[in-house]
Amino acid sequence: MGLLWGGLPEGMEETPQRVAKHWATITRGLHQDPLEPLKKTFTCDHDEIVLIKDISFNSLCEHHLLPFFGVAHVGYIPSGRVVGLSKIPRSLDILAARPQLQERLTSELTQVIEDAIAPVGVIVVMEATHTCMSTRGVVKANAITTTSCVRGVFKTDFQARQEVLSLINKDA
Ligand SMILES: Nc1nc2c(ncn2[C@@H]2O[C@H](COP(=O)(O)OP(=O)(O)OP(=O)(O)O)[C@@H](O)[C@H]2O)c(=O)[nH]1
Ligand SMILES: [Zn+2]
């Protein structure tokens, strides 16, 4: 005789509420302004690269509502103003907590940094694993997707772009 259905296991009694809370948490960014963390800025005459590497993020692919996650690298050359280092990850967390495309997440983060401090140049590189590719569909567990968005001097000055990419350890 097989196992008969005997009703919900005790551990599942609160599962609907947990699931609702989880979805509210992972989509909280829909109700938040990604520019908010970047509103407080500081004057600073540093005119070379500021690079924050390996900022972990978790997001949600808009096609399957499955997680994609990885790291972001954000580099910029200030034009007189900088933001607190923790504020860029805070802004990323807001943008990531929405149904996203990795490409759009990358360009939106670039855009909010431009809007906040109008840097001489800004570059965002993101590397991510998409669980809609690793656990279902094509089932490629090790595929990593890299996206980048480049603005300002990094767009036109190949040497500046090379420098920041070598600090990130990526080829141009
Ligand atoms: N460009 C891009 N594609 C994504 C991203 N996240 C998921 N996708 C892809 O979106 C596509 C959606 O394709 P569909 O054909 O509509 O969906 P599907 O039938 O489930 O596709 P398969 O995953 O190939 O089974 C898939 O190829 C996903 O790999 C992303 O951030 N950027
Ligand atoms: Zn997907």
Give residue for tokens 């050359």: 77
Q: What is the residue type of 13?
A: E
Ligand 1: which residue has its CA nearest to atom 32? 101
Indicate the top mutation candidate among 62, 104, 130, 132 to test ligand 1's pocket, ranked by most ligand atoms within 8 A of CB.
Answer: 132
At a CB cut-off of 8 Å and minimum separation 6, what does 44 contact?
Answer: 78, 80, 81, 82
Predicted structure pTM score: 0.94
**pLDDT in the model for residue 85:** 97
ipTM of the complex: 0.93
**pLDDT in the model for residue 5:** 83
> Residue 64 and residue 54: Cα distance in Å, rounded?
26
> Residue 28 and residue 20: Cα distance in Å, rounded?
12
CATH assignment of 13-168, given 2.60.120.10, 3.10.450.50, 3.40.50.2300, 3.30.1130.10? 3.30.1130.10
Q: How far is the CA of 101 from the centre of ligand 2 (A)?
A: 9
- 3-class secondary-structure state, position 91: helix
> Residue 144 and residue 64: Cα distance in Å, rounded?
18
Catalytic residue (choose from 102, 108, 127, 149): 102
> Residue 129 and residue 57: Cα distance in Å, rounded?
11
Catalytic residue (choose from 64, 111, 114, 163): 64
Whole-Å CA distances, 102 to 45, 71, 117: 33, 11, 23
**pLDDT in the model for residue 7:** 87
Ligand 1: which residue has its CA nearest to atom 20? 137
Mean pLDDT by groups of 10 residues along the chain of 172 residues = 80 97 98 98 94 98 98 97 97 98 98 98 98 98 98 96 92 52
**pLDDT in the model for residue 134:** 98
In the chain, where does DSSP find H-type helix? Answer: 15-26, 87-96, 102-117, 131-134, 153-156, 158-168
> Residue 46 and residue 76: Cα distance in Å, rounded?
11
